[in-house]
């Protein structure tokens, strides 16, 4: 099952930046030249600050030819020309250049998405990842990362759409069920999320490999659904995997807390401090 991406913001043959009017050409060229000279005289020619300023000057002057070479890649990713402050990053230009030569370079798209997300553009990073996944096989990892970013920015609908696609295409992957569980909880569909958390535990190669947080989140989910006894049993299941190390005072306290919500008292046993 494929996720449909938003329609590209650029169409084949379309310029990413409108061509400047011929009457303004000489003035804009002069402005760009003067700006470059000033930056060079200030001693910043090869610094990131200079590059950001230079690209900003390009954009103001209506020129900005620097991103034209990436038009095809932008169309593939379903995004428009990047803001100058982002395009000035060496890693961005480097990743885009690699994608020109190999459109399904998984390392390149990961690098691009990481830089975009680190600069506060999580939604843009997610959109690029989804665009990449639509044209490149074996991109479940990119889809999962995109879904996580959508969830982080509060776009529950898109996050859940990604999760639905992943669990439908690869129902045997435990992590995809965990992600769908979190997306369902965010969407206010906790009762449905229970089965996804249970699938996460059941599909894992070994119970010992399941993170403690999965059991804790499931227990909290049961408690929120007014199922305190199920919450207690979830903590007990986690303890049973390795009682000597997991039957701690903290685990006992959790069971007592859930048990106080109209569930029988938690079984007592020797506890260990964390």
- Write the pLDDT tens digit of every residue in 14-29: 333 333 444 454 555 4
Instruction: Give the pLDDT score at 15.
Output: 36
pLDDT in tens, 160-171: 999 999 999 999
- What average pLDDT is seen over the chain? 80
Query: Which of 34-38, 75-79, 151-155, 215-219 has the weakest average pLDDT?
Result: 34-38
Task: Give the Cβ contact number of residue 137 at 10 Å.
Answer: 7
- Reading the block at residue 104, the tokens are 């399904």
- Kindly list the domain boundaries of the chain, sorted by start residue: 46-153
Residue 1 to residues 79, 168, 170, Cα–Cα distance (Å): 22, 7, 10
Alpha-carbon torsion (178, 184, 186, 188), positive or negative: negative
In the block, residue with structure tokens 């776009």: 155
In whole angstroms, what is the distance from residue 127 CA to residue 1 CA? 18
**Which comes out higher in pLDDT, residue 83 or 75?**
75
Q: Which of 54, 109, 44 has the alpha carbon at shortest distance from 76?
A: 109
Q: Is the pTM of this model over 0.95?
A: no
pLDDT in tens, 190-209: 999 999 999 999 999 998 99
Instruction: Give the pLDDT score at 106.
Output: 97
Predicted confidence band of residue 151 (pLDDT cuts 50, 70, 90)? very high
Predicted confidence band of residue 274 (pLDDT cuts 50, 70, 90)? very low
The answer to whether 246 and 236 have CB atoms below 8 angstroms apart is no
Instruction: Give the pLDDT score at 49.
Output: 54
pLDDT in tens, 174-195: 999 999 999 999 999 999 999 9
In whole angstroms, what is the distance from residue 270 CA to residue 253 CA? 12
The answer to whether 142 and 109 have CB atoms below 8 angstroms apart is yes
Instruction: Give the pLDDT score at 89.
Output: 83
In whole angstroms, what is the distance from residue 33 CA to residue 131 CA? 36
Estimate the crossing angle of helix 48-61 against helix 25-41, to 10 degrees.
170
């Amino acid at each position: 099952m494929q996720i449909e991406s938003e329609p590209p913001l650029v169409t084949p043959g379309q310029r990413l930046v409108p061509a400047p009017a011929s009457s303004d050409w000489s003035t804009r060229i002069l402005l760009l030249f003067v700006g470059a000279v000033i930056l060079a005289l200030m001693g910043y020619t090869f610094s990131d600050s200079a590059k950001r300023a230079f690209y900003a000057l390009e954009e103001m002057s209506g020129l900005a030819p620097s991103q034209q070479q990436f038009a095809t890649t932008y169309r593939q990713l379903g995004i428009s020309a990047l803001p100058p402050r982002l395009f000035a990053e060496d890693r961005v230009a480097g990743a885009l250049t690699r994608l020109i030569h190999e459109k399904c370079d998984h390392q390149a798209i990961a690098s691009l998405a990481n830089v975009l997300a680190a600069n506060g553009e999580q939604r843009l990073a997610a959109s690029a990842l989804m665009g990449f996944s639509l044209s490149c096989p074996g991109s479940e990892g990119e889809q999962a990362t995109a879904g996580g970013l959508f969830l982080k920015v509060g776009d529950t609908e898109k996050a859940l759409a990604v999760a639905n696609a992943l669990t439908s295409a690869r129902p045997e992957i435990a992590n995809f069920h965990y992600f769908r569980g979190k997306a369902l909880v965010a969407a206010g569909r906790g009762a449905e999320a229970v089965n996804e958390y249970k699938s996460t535990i059941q599909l894992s190669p070994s119970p010992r490999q399941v993170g403690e947080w999965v059991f804790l989140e499931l227990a909290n989910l049961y408690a929120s659904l007014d199922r305190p006894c199920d919450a207690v049993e979830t903590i007990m299941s986690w303890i049973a995997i390795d009682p000597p190390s997991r039957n701690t005072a903290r685990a006992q306290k959790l069971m007592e807390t859930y048990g106080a919500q109209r569930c029988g008292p938690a079984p007592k046993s020797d506890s260990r401090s964390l």
